[in-house]
A and B are shown apart, each in its own frame.
Chain A
Amino acid sequence: GEDVEQSLFLSVREGDSSVINCTYTDSSSTYLYWYKQEPGAGLQLLTYIFSNMDMKQDQRLTVLLNKKDKHLSLRIADTQTGDSAIYFCAEWSGTASKLTFGTGTRLQVTL
């Protein structure tokens, strides 16, 4: 079955880069997503990458995909206090036709 894993917590200083990692098991994944959840709110899509891509950049966000190792990462450059949130990776399983979420990584940005 599909399984998506993330570390639970990351703390960085304001202005540094953050790297949030994710591993998945489903080799039929076609799309991989990063969602952000701010306190008391629902999830918002940050970015996504198609499985035939290695990298996608969108302003301060860089997504790297290593399909061989089934490893996805999200890099946030110049991290700000407003980036403090829980970040979820998710993969779309082509076989099961559903989105599977990781456990979420809580990013804490300190001054």
Chain B
Amino acid sequence: NAGVTQTPKFQVLKTGQSMTLQCAQDMNHNSMYWYRQDPGMGLRLIYYSASEGTTDKGEVPNGYNVSRLNKREFSLRLESAAPSQTSVYFCASSEVGPSGEQFFGPGTRLTVL
């Protein structure tokens, strides 16, 4: 099992460019999440998908869109990148409910110039 995979690992964008971060899990989990990690701020939830076909906003959704393509895949799109979106992005998945451990991907380091 690969667990949670993310592509790309690194990306540099210019302001205004768009890109999609890909995430896939092979653990048959219902719930998937996108977080961003910034120094001194921990992880902040961008969007999540409790189950296939549903998506909901998290704490910091502005400037992002998501697609739950199927049970395995959950993508994050930046339509017009801004320097404030420079961050490390993590995808995670879990079973439904609070006792379900969240499994994290290795992260995508994004720099917006």
CB distance from A49 to the nearest CB of B (A): 11
Nearest A-chain residue to B90, judged by Cβ: A42
- Of all A-B residue pairs in the complex, the 4 with the closest CB atoms, nearest first, are A42-B104, A92-B98, A101-B43, A101-B42
CB distance from A102 to the nearest CB of B (A): 5
Query: Quick check: is A43 within 8 A (CB to CB) of the other chain?
Result: yes
Pairwise interchain contact A42-B107, C-beta atoms closer than 8 A: yes
| Count of interface residues, chain B, beta-carbon cutoff 8 Å | 21
Tell me the bound Cα distance from A42 to B103 in angstroms.
Answer: 9
Pairwise interchain contact A88-B104, C-beta atoms closer than 8 A: no
CB distance from A44 to the nearest CB of B (A): 7
Q: Which residues on B sit within 8 Å (CB–CB) of A104? A: 42
Among A31, A42, A88, A97, residue most surrounded by chain B Cβ atoms (within 10 Å) = A42
Pairwise interchain contact B41-A103, C-beta atoms closer than 8 A: yes
Pairwise interchain contact B106-A45, C-beta atoms closer than 8 A: no
Pairwise interchain contact B107-A41, C-beta atoms closer than 8 A: yes
Pairwise interchain contact A99-B45, C-beta atoms closer than 8 A: yes
Tell me the bound Cα distance from A108 to B42 in angstroms.
Answer: 18
Given contacts A43-B43, A104-B42, contact A98 B101 (CB under 8 A): no
| Count of interface residues, chain A, beta-carbon cutoff 8 Å | 22
Interface residues of A in 44-93 (CB under 8 A from B): 44-45, 48, 50, 88, 92
Q: 1/0 per residue B80-113: CB within 8 Å of A?
A: 0000000000101000001101111111000000
Nearest B-chain residue to A4, judged by Cβ: B42
CB distance from A46 to the nearest CB of B (A): 10
Tell me the bound Cα distance from A94 to B92 in angstroms.
Answer: 19
Pairwise interchain contact A99-B58, C-beta atoms closer than 8 A: no
Interface residues of A in 13-41 (CB under 8 A from B): 30-31, 40-41
